[in-house]
Amino acid sequence: NAGVTQTPKFRVLKTGQSMTLLCAQDMNHEYMYWYRQDPGMGLRLIHYSVGEGTTAKGEVPDGYNVSRLKKQNFLLGLESAAPSQTSVYFCASISAASGSYEQYFGPGTRLTVT
């Protein structure tokens, strides 16, 4: 099993450009999360999904959109990138059957907006 994978690993955008980050998991997990991590800080929740076709806002959702069309994939979109969105983005998934709600994280995507 690959676990949680994220594509791309690195990306540089110009202000105003758009892009989509892909998170994929092969563990058949129901819940998926997108976080951002800024230097010296903990992770902050952007959006999450409790199942295919559902999404919900987290702490810092502004400027981002998400979609969960397939159970194994969770997409994070930036419609018009801003320098404030320069960050490392992490995706995580959780099994609904897990009593622990343990999150399995991907390796991260490092995004720079110039």
Q: Does 60 bind other proteins (CB under 8 A)?
A: no
Please identify, using beta-carbon distances, which residue of 90 and 113 lies nearer to other proteins: 90
Please identify, using beta-carbon distances, which residue of 53 and 107 lies nearer to other proteins: 107
Residues 76-105 that bind other proteins (CB under 8 A): 88, 90, 92, 94, 100-105
CA proximity to 34, closest of 80, 84, 85: 85
Concatenated DSSP letters of 36-49: EE-TTS-EEEEEEE
* Segment interacting with other proteins, rule: CB under 8 A, options 7-15, 18-26, 37-45, 66-74: 37-45
**CB neighbours of 28 closer than 8 A, spacing ≥ 6?**
71, 72, 95
